[in-house]
Structure 1
Amino acid sequence: MSAEIKPEVKKISFEEIKKHSDRSSNWIVINNDVFDVTEFLDKHPGGEEVLIEQAGQEATEAFEDVGHSSDARAMMEQYKIGTLVDSERKPDLPKKSDPEWKESSGSSDVSWKSWIVPIAFGFVATVIYRLYFMS
């Protein structure tokens, strides 16, 4: 039974990352992880300009604001080359999850209850109208 040995994660400083801030060598930092996205520039669905704009710097907020899918997050792993040195790390921003398009079972109950009051009011108004104005 052999234990899988994980390679040591390379620690990279912002001083080094800033040297990779153009199209020929593009590194970005997302949640304290360092990614070399140079090979991905031509493949990026949002266009290479977005990645070039973030090159050599912290890009977590820009990445999270877009709301990347879980597939995009999984794809990132192949471009990870290390993490920030401990002294330069920041608290991780919360990851934005994929949007939930389906309704939860509780929300349909609330939706149905929101119709009861208008329907009841309409019924009562109709009965009063017929009693007083149709007789």
Structure 2
Amino acid sequence: MPTLSKLYKMQEAAQHNTPQDCWVVIDGKVYDVGSYLDEHPGGDDVILATTGKDATDEFEDAGHSNDARELLETFLIGELDPSDTVIPELEISKKQADYTQKLKDFTKQYWAVPVAVVGVSVVVSFLYLRKK
């Protein structure tokens, strides 16, 4: 197994997310797999979808063989800096939470329109049934 000589921050690893320059992070280790994209049996899009975040779960869920794990070690370039606390996944979740809050605020603000439509419908149906 190669000696790890460099520590990377997650944000730095996340910047390498193109077919020409692709890094993935698995189990706290950083791998430069750009040269392997064309050979990956699952296609390059599978790997590219895991850049910029910890891809450990995706790697494990795919059920890679021992040969695949040994091959992965040949692309090892370093490991994540343990003092790095910024995880891009959490930033994405925070943005999604902001959008969810905005949607809730929007629905609270415009509740009167659907209530008015229902109210008018009830009145019209009551008047219609009363005529019969």
Q: Please indicate, yes or no, whether the TM-score normalized by the shorter chain is above 0.5.
A: yes
Percentage of pairs with the same residue: 39
- Structure 1: 5+ residue stretches without partners: 1-5, 90-135
Q: Deviations over 1:18-42 (max 9, x none)?
A: 1101212111100000001100000
Secondary structure of 1:62's counterpart equals helix
Tell me the matched-pair count. 84
Q: Deviations over 1:49-108 (max 9, x none)?
A: 10111122210000000110000000011100000001248xxxxxxxxxxxxxxxxxxx
Residues 1:11 and 2:7 are matched in the alignment: yes
Residue type of the alignment partner of 2:29: D
Residues 1:73 and 2:63 are matched in the alignment: no
Q: 1:8–1:21: structure 2 CA closer, same or farther, 3 Å change rule?
A: closer
Secondary structure of 1:15's counterpart equals helix
Is the 1:26–1:56 Cα contact (8 Å) retained in structure 2? no
Give the deviation of 1:7 after TM superposition: 4.8
TM-score by length of 1: 0.58
In the TM superposition, 1:42-121 aligns within 5 A as 42-88=38-84
- Report which of the two has the higher share of helix: 2
Q: 1:7–1:58: structure 2 CA closer, same or farther, 3 Å change rule?
A: closer
Give the deviation of 1:8 after TM superposition: 5.0
CA-atom RMSD in angstroms? 1.7
Moved more, 77-86 or 16-25: 16-25
Q: 1:13–1:42: structure 2 CA closer, same or farther, 3 Å change rule?
A: same
Residues 1:36 and 2:32 are matched in the alignment: yes
Rg (Cα) greater in structure: 1
Counterpart-to-counterpart distance in 2, 1:41 and 1:11: 23
Residues 1:24 and 2:16 are matched in the alignment: no
Q: 1:34–1:8: structure 2 CA closer, same or farther, 3 Å change rule?
A: closer
Counterpart-to-counterpart distance in 1, 2:16 and 2:58: 18
- Structure 2: 5+ residue stretches without partners: 86-132
Q: 1:7–1:30: structure 2 CA closer, same or farther, 3 Å change rule?
A: closer
Residue type of the alignment partner of 1:83: E
